[in-house]
Amino acid sequence: MCDVCSDWRFSASMTMSSRPYGVLVNDDDGRLVLAATPLGDWRDASPRLVEALRTADVIAAEDTRRARALAAGLDVTPTGRMVSFYDAVETARLGGLLEAIRSGQTVVLITDAGMPSVSDPGYRLVAACVAEDLPVTCLPGPSAVTTALALSGLPCDRFCFDGFPPRKQGERRRWLTELAGERRTVVFFESTHRIAATLADAAEVIGAERRAAVCRELTKTHEEVRRGTLAELAEWATGGPRGEITVVLAGAPAPDTADLTELVREVEERVEGGERLKQAAAAVAAESGASKKALYDAAVARRT
């Protein structure tokens, strides 16, 4: 309950709608609650998560077995019904969950670990609620993205999250080529079965000396954070690390003025050879690690 009145709660909807942000919503109104769950250590669960699991009318869980184990670990006995909500059934479950919210029920959405919808089920349900102007709120908590970022030892004043790399090597290498010139620190997830191949490709495409950190089994008994160059981490990964893995990649260094001038000349030579300016800037950026936008803007400036 909030401190304003025991019969009311705040809606945390962050959308532009007819229901202003922060407006009070009666407890009889239905709502979707996105609830962050512990990454590994159940003691990271918030009191609000415990209350939500105990009182929800519906718990939509990525894995109902894990959800029941979490509730048992927290000494919680859910009073509502529990339904599965994973990738393969997400679309099919939308109608029933939306109807529950419309009828005044509280639906709590949880995934196996961390925040729902962050590379996990949830986005479609949130979007559907937003489209119908149904209340959506969030119980903040553990996130593998920000936890790994904080532990990495890499700059975290500006960063981006890029989900999972493509599974096929060709697509993965193209994805890495796009990241090569990214100036912000990049966070992404990877499976234990592909981490060695991804790091090996990254060392080759982005550069063996680029710094990174591999965070494994965060908050669990066997938590491990490996920091080093991509070449060093690729060699370590050949041993077959297990568990949930989050990778933090240092951003591309900014080229000095002399380097940028030379790179712009390379762009211009490609354009003279028949390439479009955007394509030439992208190709040189991928090869050098420079910013594609900086190269493009500099090349345009030299034309004027």
For the stretch 13-45, pLDDT in tens is 333 333 333 333 445 689 999 999 999 999 999
Tens-place pLDDT, residues 72-91: 999 999 999 999 999 999 99
Q: What is the pLDDT of residue 27?
A: 55
Residues 177 and 128 in one domain: no
What's the pLDDT band for 291 if we cut at 50, 70, 90?
confident
- 132 & 233 share domain: no
Query: Which letter does DSSP use for residue 74 in this model?
Result: T
> What DSSP designation does 252 have?
P
Confidence at 3, pLDDT banded by 50, 70, 90: very low
**Are residue 170 and residue 266 in the same domain, yes or no?**
no
Task: Provide CB contacts within 8 A for 249, sequence distance 6+.
Answer: 154, 179, 185, 186, 187, 188, 202, 206, 210, 212, 230
Who wins on pLDDT, 282 or 232? 232
Is 295 inside any structural domain? Answer: yes
Last residue of a domain, one of 122, 141, 160: 141
More confident residue, 282 or 165: 165
Return the H-helix or E-strand segment holding 238. none
Q: pLDDT digit string (tens) for 185-240? A: 999 999 999 999 999 999 999 999 999 999 999 999 999 999 999 999 999 999 99
Q: Which residues of 47-153 form beta strands (DSSP E)?
A: 58-61, 81-84, 106-110, 136-139
Max alpha carbon distance in the chain (Å)? 72
pLDDT band at 288 (very low <50, low <70, confident <90, very high): confident
Return the number of other C-beta atoms located less than 10 Å from residue 218's C-beta.
Answer: 23
205 shares its domain with 284: no
**Three-class SS state of 113:** coil
The more confident residue out of 263 and 25 is 263
Q: How confident is the model at residue 256 (pLDDT cuts 50, 70, 90)?
A: low
> Is the same domain home to 287 and 192?
no
pLDDT value of residue 128 = 96
- Residue 3 in any domain: the answer is no
On whether both 134 and 14 belong to a single domain, the answer is yes
Q: Can you tell me whether residue 95 is helix, strand or coil? A: helix
List the domain range (segments joined by +) for residue 280. 257-303
* Residue 1 resides in a domain: no
Better-scored residue on pLDDT, 265 or 21 = 265
**What's the pLDDT at 19?**
38
Please check whether residues 22 and 105 belong to one and the same domain.
Answer: yes
Q: Do 243 and 215 contact (CB within 8 A), yes or no?
A: no
Report which residue type is found at 238: T
Residue 245: band (very low, low, confident or very high) from pLDDT cuts 50, 70, 90: very high
Same domain? 39 vs 122: yes
Render pLDDT for 110-165 as a digit per residue (tens, 0 to 9): 999 999 988 889 999 999 999 999 999 999 999 999 999 999 999 999 999 999 99
Q: Would you say 123 and 180 are in contact if contact means Cβ atoms under 8 Å apart?
A: no
Q: What is the CA radius of gyration of the chain?
A: 23
Q: What stretch of H or E contains 242? A: none
**Domain tally, the chain:** 3
- Domain with residue 82: its CATH number is 3.40.1010.10
Give the count of beta carbons closer than 10 Å to the beta carbon of residue 143. Answer: 18
The whole-number pLDDT of residue 303 equals 82
Return all residues near 140 (Cβ < 8 A) that are at least 6 apart: 36, 46, 115
Q: How far is C-alpha 170 from the geometric centre of its chain's CA atoms? A: 23
Residues 244 and 279 in one domain: no
53 plus 22 within the same structural domain:
yes
Residue range 170-199: mean pLDDT, rounded = 95
- Tell me: do 20 and 114 sit in the same domain: yes
Give the residue, 157 or 3, on which the prediction is more confident.
Answer: 157
Asked if residue 211 is part of any domain, the answer here is yes
| Whether the predicted pLDDT of 5 surpasses 70 | no
* Domain edge (last residue) among 141, 170, 194: 141
Alpha-carbon separation of residue 201 from 168, 197, 205, 220, 272 (angstroms):
11, 6, 6, 28, 31
Whether residue 135 is found in the same domain as residue 149: no
Q: Structure pTM?
A: 0.75
Query: In angstroms, rounded to a whole number, what is the distance separating the alpha carbons of residues 260 and 271?
Result: 16
The pLDDT of residue 1 is 32
